[in-house]
Amino acid sequence: MSEISWPPNWPRVLEARLGTPPPGEYRATPEAFLVEELLDFAPEGQGEHLWLWVEKRDLTTIELVKRLARACEVRPRDIGYAGLKDRQAVTRQWLSVHLPGREAPEDLEARLGETPVRLLEYHRHPRKLKRGVHKGNRFRLRLTGEACEDPGFAARWQALIEQGVPNYFGPQRFGHEGRNLGRAEALLGRGWRKRADPEGLLLSAARSYLFNQLLATRIAEGNWATPLPGELVILDGTASQFLVETPDAELLARAERLDLHPSGVLWGKGALGSREQAAQYEQALTMLAPALCAGLEAAGVSLGRRALRLRLGHPSLQRDAGGLWLAFDLPRGGFATAVLRELISHPTL
């Protein structure tokens, strides 16, 4: 019997107080979903790797990597990128190409194919661009529909600014109708092999599902934003974490200010690190989905942690005829769809 329940019924944090949000539309066109990668450093201007600041439209990062490898006559593994960006969007991100002793083709942009790809900047750097080194992403999204006309929309938006957003993994992580999860469950049941999952996407889908289940439980019990005894908390905007034996008034006040966030386990091999009440929630995953947990451990993936909550950076709302634009920054790993599902109802959310 499958351990995966799909479609999931992961709760919204604002639903109890403000009700289910009205229907809304997003991503009507790629130009209505804009994403810009944020780095907190710049290429040095010299080195074996050519870093490219690229704008793409209606194209996955993986497909862009393949095109760039062909155009520059290198292997795909010679291409570096910090994160995967949405396909149905206009996105800007850095990629690096290992080109020691030579330049990129003069007609590189033309070689990248018919799908619009623009090369906005290029600089040399000594090192390859590694996964996860970016600081985050800036989003600018257009929404339309009944939700935008709802008098409660502004209250929902302000609540997310003040209390943060549940750090759910977005639906794109799980594939159309959750199919990546079914594939992950089957693969982990047989014993994970890299050749069957070269990018680790199925491992990631399984870990993300377990994390979302944990977060959903804590939202349902009202403690998703409150550090519990034995909690590993994560400092906002960093990877720094520390153990809270017994939350005191000062620590709870810092959590209320969004200075720090409770965390949840990304299942894998290793010690939880959490204790007491916080650990009990995480250990319950082994009863909810024992085969998934055991399969991830057997695959050798290292246990990790992820904040249960996101702070919206530089949030803004602008209305226009027929809809509105939202803008905000999220740290790396944050999904804009986690923000949108608190504001609108949509079948994909």
User: Hey, which residues are catalytic here?
Assistant: 86
User: Residue by residue, what is the 3-state secondary structure of 213-255?
Assistant: HHHHHHHHCCCCCCCCCCEEEEECCCCCEEEECCCCHHHHHHH
Round to whole Å and give the CA distance between 189 and 340. 34
**305 CB-side CA count, 13 A:** 25
- Return the DSSP state at 261: E
CA distances for 86 relative to 35, 37, 64, 160, 235, angstroms: 8, 11, 12, 23, 27
- Return the DSSP state at 325: E
* 25 CB-near residues (< 8 Å, 6+ apart): 143, 144, 145, 344, 346
Round to whole Å and give the CA distance between 63 and 76. 10
Round to whole Å and give the CA distance between 97 and 156. 43
Pairing of strands 117-125, 79-81: unpaired
Helix axes 201-220, 276-283, angle to 10 degrees: 130
Provide the H-helix boundaries in 232-316: 249-256, 276-283, 285-288, 290-298
Round to whole Å and give the CA distance between 74 and 69. 5
Exposure string of 193-229, with b = 16+ CB inside 10 Å and e = fewer, is eeeebeeeebbbbbbbbbbbbbbbbbbeeebbbebbe
Burial (CB < 10 A; 0-12, 13-18, 19+), residue 38, is middle
Q: Are 187 and 196 a contacting pair, CB within 8 Å?
A: yes
